[in-house]
Structure formats: C-alpha cells, structure tokens
C-alpha cells in the first residue's frame, strides 16, 4: 500500500507533459476536530493519489490546510470525495486565478501540530469567536471608510509585491510575529476603529480575528476567502479592484498577477520587477526578487559566491555541502545583507502612511 510519493519532481513533470491534460490549482482550509490526524492523512493520500492529486497539505488535530493541483477532468470526483467527509462537505475551493500544470510536482500530506504556525495557545481563548466575514463588495466599502484600519496579515515578502491600497503591511517574516506587533501598534484603537484583515486565502485571518477579539478589539472583520476569492468576485461581478500588484502564492508559480502595477524592485539592481526566485545554489536557495537581466548575469544566483559554487561540477558542490546545513540566509526571504535593494525595515504605521503604489 503506497502512502508516500515515489516519483521525483523531474519524473512527475515528464508524466504531466506526456499526459497533455489541463490541471487545476486550488486551495482550501477547514478548522475541525480530527481525532486521529495520521489515520486521516493516510486515507487522504490513498484517495487523492488515485485522482492524480499533487500538492502540499497539512493535517492536524485542529483541521486541514491544503494547496494542490489535479487534472481538470478529476475535479468533480475530487469534490464528490470531499463531500463524503462531514466537515468538508460543500467547502469553498479557491480556484487559482492563473493556472499552471507544473504548480505542484509531488503529493505531500504532512501531520503537523497546527495547520498554520501561529504560536498561540488555543486553550486560552475561543478560536470559534471569529470576526465578521465580508465579501468583496462589502470589503471595498469598508476599506473606503475613514473609520477603518486595514491590515495585511501576510509576511513582508508577500506584501512587497502586492497589497490592498492603504493597507498596513507589517514588516514581519512569519505570521506568528505579526500578531503581537499588530496588537501593540493598534492598541489605542480597540474600540473606535474597524479592524479589517485579509490574507491569501483566508486561513490566517480565521485565527487572527478570534485572537484580536479576545484581546479586546470590538469591530473585527475579515475578507472571506482572502485575495484569491476577492479577485474571483471582482472579475465575476465587475467590481472595482482595490488590490495593487501581484498575489504571492505558495507553489511553483510563486505569484498571480491581480493588477498591472509593479510595486517591487529587483533586489540586485533595483529595476522595477515583482517575480520571486530561489537561488540556484543548492546550499542557499534564498527566496528573493530577481529581474530577467540579473537572472541571466548571475545564473539565477543571489550572490557572486553562490554563482561560483553553482558553476562547479555537481560532485564538487555536493562535497562542499557535506555536513553543512543550508545558510541561515534562506530564512531571510529577500533580506540577506548582500542584497543591495532589499526592502527597507519600517514601522507598520510608517508603511501605511506611504503605501507602495
């Protein structure tokens, strides 16, 4: 009984090319009480592997968080299977704005302590007492209200390439870092302002809205379905699009273009650009923004040293990596000291006063 991926990314990519079938990229999440996450995980793998599902899915006692792709022809069968699971019946599936058959190349379903690393003790507050969900139309109205504070619940490298007009974009590396930062900076407005939040697909706001209500914020709202669902509704209903730039996504596409605005710059030369890449040096893999000219000049590497190492024969590179972990720069997400045009560190209120538009 196969319970784990057995093909390399290269082998899977070749099979997808040969199949010649369109695939759909989608995401969903659900908070629910899962008694035995490992058993649930194994059942999912057996059923989804049979449908040629690929992706990254986290399962925990508190629920499921999935980003995945599957053949378009299997979409109805996939939904039918989800409907056999009580807490997933009729769940909203966020279909990607831009499709790419190679968005995922492996099926990875992992059991985790939490489906989003938030650093919170869920026993200290009511996680079901969430903020008010609003659709795209209501969201647009709220963020035009002078009594609203709009907060981006994503990380700096996500908001750097795209965000809503006039949003506060916390300068943080992780979701868990953002919660105390936002609470502290907005503590004077717990009762007199609307706290409106958004993220990629909605999952971070689910927990954050309950946390902020627990901390005393009275008027808490969250964008239903996040940026992905917002964009679908804007396109479907002809609404005014308030999002500027690209939406960062956690698959091999790395982003979806929502508007034509380019609000970021190449971290190496400073030219307007908004596409992330990973350094080609296997001992680095730093995530950063690199324009096409720099990619060609630097051979897809983030530094001269990485370029030199990447040019070595594979066995020499492997020998250099032996016994060594990846550089800590990998966790800096575009903030490595050697990148001359990395994003400046600024207070979140300063950021909001001068939006990157």
CATH number of the domain enclosing 67: 3.30.70.100
Nearest to 26 by CA among 79, 62, 63: 79
Question: Would you state the pLDDT for residue 250?
Answer: 87
Rounded Cα gap, residues 8 and 342, in angstroms = 33
Are 13 and 107 members of one domain? yes
Looking at the fold, whether 230 and 349 belong to one and the same domain comes out as yes
103 and 134 part of one domain: no
Structure-block tokens of residue 194: 């609307």
Asked whether residue 42 falls in the same domain as residue 165, the answer is no
- Are 49 and 26 in contact, with CB atoms under 8 Å apart? no
**Upper half-sphere CA count for residue 313 (Cβ side, 13 Å):** 3
- Are residue 28 and residue 47 in the same domain, yes or no? yes
Residue 252 lies in a domain: no
Using CA atoms, how far apart are residues 3 and 15, in angstroms rounded to an integer?
20
Locus of tokens 């999440």: 29
What does the alpha-carbon distance between residue 266 and residue 275 come to, in Å, rounded to a whole number?
A: 8
* Residues 202, 137 within the same domain: yes
Specify if 259 maps to a domain.
no
Does a structural domain hold residue 165?
A: yes
On whether residue 257 sits in a domain, the answer given is: no
> For residue 327, what pLDDT is reported?
56
Taking only Cα atoms into account, the Rg of the chain, rounded to an integer number of angstroms, comes to 21
Q: Which of 74, 89, 111 is the last residue of a domain?
A: 111
Our count of domains for the chain comes to: 3
**What CATH number has the domain bearing residue 171?**
3.40.250.10
Please list the alpha-helical segments (H only) found in the chain: 9-19, 37-50, 75-82, 136-143, 156-159, 175-185, 203-214, 226-237, 292-297, 304-310, 314-321, 348-353
Q: Residue 254: inside a domain, yes or no?
A: no
As a whole number of angstroms, the distance between CA 27 and CA 236 comes to 19
> Does residue 141 share a domain with residue 56?
no
Task: Please give the pLDDT value at position 51.
Answer: 97
Among candidate residues 111, 135, 166, the one where a domain is terminated: 111
Tokens of 95: 């279909």
Residues 228 and 349 in one domain: yes
Active site residue 294: no
Q: Quick one: pLDDT at residue 6?
A: 84
Catalytic residue among 199, 266, 301, 302: 199
The torsion angles phi and psi of 109, rounded to 5 degrees, stand at -115, 115
The pLDDT tens digits along the chain (357 residues) read 678 888 888 999 999 999 999 999 999 999 999 999 999 999 999 999 999 999 999 999 999 999 999 999 999 999 999 999 999 999 999 999 888 999 999 999 999 999 998 988 888 988 889 999 999 999 999 999 999 999 999 999 999 999 999 999 999 989 999 999 999 999 999 999 999 999 999 999 999 999 999 999 999 999 999 999 999 999 999 999 999 999 999 888 899 999 999 999 999 999 999 999 999 999 899 999 999 999 999 999 999 999 999 999 999 988 888 877 665 555 567 788 899 988 765 544 444 443 333
Tell me, yes or no, whether 190 lies in a domain: yes
Tell me: do 197 and 283 sit in the same domain: no
Identify the domain containing residue 138 by its residue range.
122-239+345-353
Same domain, residue pair 287 and 189? no
Distance CA 261, CA 264 (A): 9
Which residues have a Cβ under 8 Å from the Cβ of 197 and sit 6 or more positions away?
A: 131, 150, 151, 152, 153, 205, 208, 209, 212, 220, 221, 222, 223
163 part of a folded domain: yes
Query: Quick one: 36 and 98 in the same domain?
Result: yes
On whether both 315 and 290 belong to a single domain, the answer is yes
The whole-number pLDDT of residue 351 equals: 45
pTM for the whole structure: 0.86
Residue 156 lies in a domain: yes
Per-residue confidence (pLDDT) for residue 328, from 0 to 100: 54
Looking at 89, 111, 133, which one is the last position of a domain? 111
């Amino acid at each position: 009984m196969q319970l784990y991926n057995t093909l390399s990314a290269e082998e899977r990519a070749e099979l997808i090319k040969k199949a010649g079938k369109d695939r759909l990229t989608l995401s969903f999440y659900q908070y629910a009480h899962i008694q035995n996450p490992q058993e649930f995980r194994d059942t999912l793998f057996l059923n989804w592997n049979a449908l040629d599902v690929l992706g990254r899915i986290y399962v925990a006692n508190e629920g499921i968080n999935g980003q995945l792709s599957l053949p378009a022809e299997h979409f109805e069968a996939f939904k039918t299977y989800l409907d056999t699971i009580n807490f997933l019946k009729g769940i909203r599936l966020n279909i990607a704005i831009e499709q790419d058959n190679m968005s995922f190349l492996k099926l990875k379903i992992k059991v985790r302590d939490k489906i989003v690393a938030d650093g919170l003790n869920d026993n200290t507050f009511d996680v079901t007492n969430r903020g008010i969900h609003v659709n795209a139309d209501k969201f647009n109205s709220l963020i035009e209200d002078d009594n609203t504070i709009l907060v981006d619940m994503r990380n700096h490298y996500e908001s750097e390439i795209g965000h809503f007009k006039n949003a506060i974009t916390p300068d943080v590396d992780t979701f868990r870092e953002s919660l105390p930062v936002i609470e502290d900076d907005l503590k004077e407005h717990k009762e007199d302002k609307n706290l409106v939040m958004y993220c990629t697909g909605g999952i971070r706001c689910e927990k954050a809205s309950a946390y902020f209500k627990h901390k005393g914020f009275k008027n808490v709202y969250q964008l239903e379905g996040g940026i992905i669902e917002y964009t679908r509704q804007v396109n479907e209903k002809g609404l005014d699009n308030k999002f500027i730039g690209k939406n960062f996504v956690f698959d091999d596409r790395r982003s979806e273009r929502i508007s034509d605005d380019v609000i970021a710059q190449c971290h190496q030369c400073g030219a307007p650009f908004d596409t992330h890449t990973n350094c080609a040096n296997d001992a680095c893999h730093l995530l950063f923004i690199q324009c096409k000219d720099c990619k060609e000049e630097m051979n897809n590497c983030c530094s001269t040293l990485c370029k030199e190492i990447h040019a070595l024969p594979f066995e020499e590179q492997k020998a250099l990596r032996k016994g060594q972990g990846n550089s800590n720069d990998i966790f800096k997400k575009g903030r490595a000291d050697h990148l001359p045009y990395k994003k400046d560190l600024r207070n979140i209120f300063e950021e909001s006063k001068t939006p990157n538009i």
